[in-house]
Chain A
């Protein structure tokens, strides 16, 4: 927080005293003022971005979950799928985004697809590696108890994957916002991405930066939500930390 404050202060001083024109580098105070003035337009454009982010992320999460289970139950699938998926991660977004828009139009579909494209693989890997982190002895014990593969998956592999899942979630959610903005940048009726593009074309860097601020705030909020969700879903983590080192001898 302090570092962000100092950075903004330095930027403010530079923009004010260096004589640089506000159409090149506007001071933070001007960005903030313009953001307030244009708050209606910013909000109107933020809503489709939020929608595309959440919808795309939900799609990719469901698909990653289903596929991760299939991979866990059927290992050869992993060898067949992962190379394709790794290649999908190397595609440059700048090149892919306009193509997807070209193929699927200016509606919601291409945005969802791009968000899913950038978040799907990290989530899949997180889940698959999470299942594999299950202690071998827990599996052996459950089998001795008479549990089948499905029981073992539900009782042990799924909960073991939770820390990996949330680590993946925190990273992917930030990718998701970037993916949505990229998709809009390539063509959209409304959204933060197209708003930035229009502001840039109208020589309004202050409005570009205002939109960047909104998207940063959006990312932070989503990130915070995942942290909150993790605390709720994994109460044993905090319980363990609080009492670590307080164990009685017995």
Chain B
């Protein structure tokens, strides 16, 4: 039973075709990734889902058209979008405050999660006082506490160094096993997509189409060694092949 379903979604900015034809679905408790090259239109897809932009095609949530934007999704933008003037605790409660919860109640709800997110002791810090990885976890905390039906994560670890990124991916996989969020993740990191997802949609370059849908049959918890890891690298190579061979529907710039 799919929660989110997109049918033939298209979007153009002026004369620029960005999304050519996107159909996808995300089931309850499923972790799905959208993998595509830079500039393909991945963030644009989230703009449509969050109601920042309007496109053509059908977008359904639990079978009903997505018109009442801002109900179903907790959205984490590509840059962490932490407010520099708010302390980490107050950044984390932002979504709850917007939903109308009193500040005290929101703080009480969020505070116990700081340890789990590796932010204990940093509640009173400003974002500028945190490392990149910590900022990303704070942004993720702000996203999940909203208790919406589904997480939209736009390249949550894109700006991190390789070491921190790997650590964060392992941490997120572990968190997901615990919470079983329904999640849609945008990334252009093949390894990240394979490591975290149940399914992967591979996008072409702009104008974006879905080139392939790939199931990731690896057991959880995902590991970095042994048989499963070998299986993972085979899958990664396969996906890389698909991406590099995918030619855009128009134009000759990818011969």
Residues of A participating in the B interface, judged by any CB pair closer than 8 Å: 135, 137-138, 140-147, 151, 155-156, 159, 162, 234-236, 239-244, 247-250
Contacts and interface: CB of A to CB of B under 8 A. Distances in A.
Contact of A145 (B47, B94, B134, B164): B94
B201 interface: no
Contacts of A143: 50-52, 69-70
Nearest to B78: A137
Contacts of B33: none
Nearest to A239: B126
B41 to A, nearest CB: 15
A241 B164 CA distance: 23
21 contacts: A135-B81, A137-B79, A138-B83, A143-B51, A144-B73, A145-B70, A145-B75, A145-B94, A146-B98, A159-B83, A159-B85, A236-B128, A239-B126, A240-B126, A241-B128, A243-B128, A247-B134, A249-B131, A249-B133, A249-B164, A250-B167
A235 B83 CA distance: 13
B51 A138 contact: no
B128 A234 contact: no
Interface in B140-168: 146, 152, 163-164, 167
Contacts, number: 93
Sort A-B residue pairs by CB-CB distance and give the 9 closest, nearest first.
A240-B128, A247-B131, A137-B77, A144-B50, A144-B75, A146-B70, A236-B126, A145-B98, A243-B129
A155 B133 contact: no
B75 A141 contact: yes
A239 B76 CA distance: 25
Given A140-B50, A145-B146, A249-B164, A240 B84 contact: yes
Contacts of B39: none
B70 A144 contact: yes
B118 interface: yes
A13 to B, nearest CB: 49
A155 B118 CA distance: 26
Contacts of A138: 77, 81, 83
A240 B51 CA distance: 33
Contacts of A135: 79, 81
B50 A248 contact: no
Nearest to A152: B98
A162 to B, nearest CB: 7
Nearest to A134: B83
B71 interface: yes
A244 B126 CA distance: 11
B55 interface: no
B130 interface: yes
B129 A144 contact: no
Contacts of B130: 247
Contact of A155 (B71, B94, B99): B94
B85 A140 contact: no
A137 B161 CA distance: 22
Nearest to B126: A236
B95 interface: yes
A158 to B, nearest CB: 10
Contact of A250 (B51, B75, B83, B133): B133
A59 to B, nearest CB: 28
